[in-house]
């Protein structure tokens, strides 16, 4: 019995020692648990707040989509130096008349590879068939539609077109329309990218000076060459013809122009040696140069007319 009591006493002493040891370590264990919990909480919040690199959107530069060659040329001039990328969506070889086909048949194939555009410039107010806003909205629900033909605000500016004209003509060939579109785009771009507002306004002033200079030189050149009027059988060129200081004398080459010296105007990029023919680059296709380059090319082509 004494041996048994001694064993029980030793066992009890061991339990008491272990219990006391655990009590002394308990504050340290609680501190460790709190520290680990805090670290895990901070780590989880950091991971949740980190950008999803797999999407690629955060690394993309600010970008703008355009559909018409004129929209691309004007947008590129206004956003020069800002770092905003200006993309032309349709196939560059397509003329304006084929853009609707590209939108209907090809855009859906190209859409998965397109970036999440911040904005898109189009002319849905006068050419709804050429709108791609609904498609691009599937990539980025926050994409901003910019209409360069009619300013999207109460009593906003708008381009000038013939009453009841529903066909897509080359309305951008009228210098007055060019100035309106530059102003519309400049104001909208300044609101979309306020950090670039000073540079956009500077680019706007330069573009307006180029357009005004072109219009003045054009009228002076027509007068110096001694034309009695202008002629064309291409109705898409009427916005330009109606903006000139000369009267329109004929719409068909079979018309009787006896006694009149008429400047015939056609659209195209190739030069022509035919007398009395001015082949205008009407931005019917994608143009890689600048606004100033395009305007200068058309003046040079007129200068060469005999």
Burial of 213 (0-12, 13-18, 19+ CB in 10 A): middle
Q: Which residue has the tokens 């202008």?
A: 230
Mean pLDDT to the nearest integer, 242-250: 93
For residue 41 the two structure tokens come to 């909480």
pLDDT-derived band at 257, boundaries 50, 70, 90: confident
How long, in residues, is the chain?
Answer: 306
pLDDT in tens, 130-185: 999 999 999 999 999 999 999 988 989 999 987 666 688 999 999 999 999 999 99
Q: What is the CA radius of gyration of the chain?
A: 35
The pLDDT of residue 163 is 60
pLDDT-derived band at 49, boundaries 50, 70, 90: very low
The pLDDT of residue 61 is 81
Cβ atoms < 10 Å from Cβ of 119? 23
pLDDT-derived band at 270, boundaries 50, 70, 90: confident
CA–CA distance, 102 with 143 (Å, rounded to integer): 21
First-to-last alpha carbon distance for the chain, in angstroms, is 137
pLDDT in tens, 108-121: 999 999 999 999 99
Q: Cβ(69)–Cβ(96) under 8 Å?
A: yes
Mean pLDDT to the nearest integer, 26-53: 59
Q: Which residue has the tokens 């905003």?
A: 84
Q: Where are the alpha helices (DSSP H) in the chain?
A: 2-49, 69-78, 99-105, 107-110, 133-136, 175-192, 197-225, 238-241, 291-303
Q: pLDDT higher for 98 or 35? A: 98
pLDDT-derived band at 252, boundaries 50, 70, 90: confident
CA–CA distance, 63 with 139 (Å, rounded to integer): 13
CB neighbour burial string for 86-101, b if at least 16 within 10 angstroms, e if fewer: bebbbeeebebeebbe
Mean pLDDT to the nearest integer, 195-212: 98
The pLDDT of residue 306 is 72
Question: Parallel, antiparallel, or unpaired for β 229-231 and 262-267?
Answer: parallel
């Amino acid at each position: 019995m004494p041996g048994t009591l001694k064993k029980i006493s030793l066992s009890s002493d061991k339990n008491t020692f272990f219990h006391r040891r655990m009590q002394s370590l308990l504050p340290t264990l609680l501190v460790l648990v709190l520290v680990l919990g805090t670290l895990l909480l901070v780590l989880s919040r950091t991971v949740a707040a980190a950008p999803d690199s797999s999407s690629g959107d955060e690394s993309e530069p600010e970008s703008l989509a355009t559909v018409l060659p004129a929209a691309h040329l004007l947008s590129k001039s206004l956003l020069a130096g800002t770092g905003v990328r200006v993309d032309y969506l349709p196939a560059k070889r397509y003329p304006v008349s084929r853009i609707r086909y590209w939108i209907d048949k090809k855009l859906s194939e190209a859409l998965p590879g397109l970036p999440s555009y911040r904005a898109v410039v189009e002319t849905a107010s006068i050419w709804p068939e050429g709108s791609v806003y609904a498609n691009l909205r599937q990539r980025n629900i926050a994409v901003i539609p910019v209409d360069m033909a009619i300013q999207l605000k109460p009593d906003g500016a708008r381009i000038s077109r013939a009453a009841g004209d529903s066909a897509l003509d080359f309305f951008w060939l009228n210098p007055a329309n060019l100035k309106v579109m530059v102003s519309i785009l400049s104001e909208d771009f300044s609101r979309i990218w306020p950090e670039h507002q000073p540079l956009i306004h500077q680019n706007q002033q330069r573009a307006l000076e180029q357009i005004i200079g072109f219009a003045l030189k054009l009228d002076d050149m027509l007068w110096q060459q001694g034309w009695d009027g202008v002629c064309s059988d291409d109705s898409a060129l009427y916005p330009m013809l109606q903006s000139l200081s000369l009267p329109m004398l004929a719409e068909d080459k079979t018309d009787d122009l006896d006694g009149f010296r008429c400047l015939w105007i056609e659209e195209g990029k190739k030069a022509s040696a035919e007398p009395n023919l001015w082949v205008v680059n009407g931005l019917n296709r994608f143009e890689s140069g600048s606004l100033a380059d395009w305007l200068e090319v058309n003046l040079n082509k007129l200068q060469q007319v005999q």
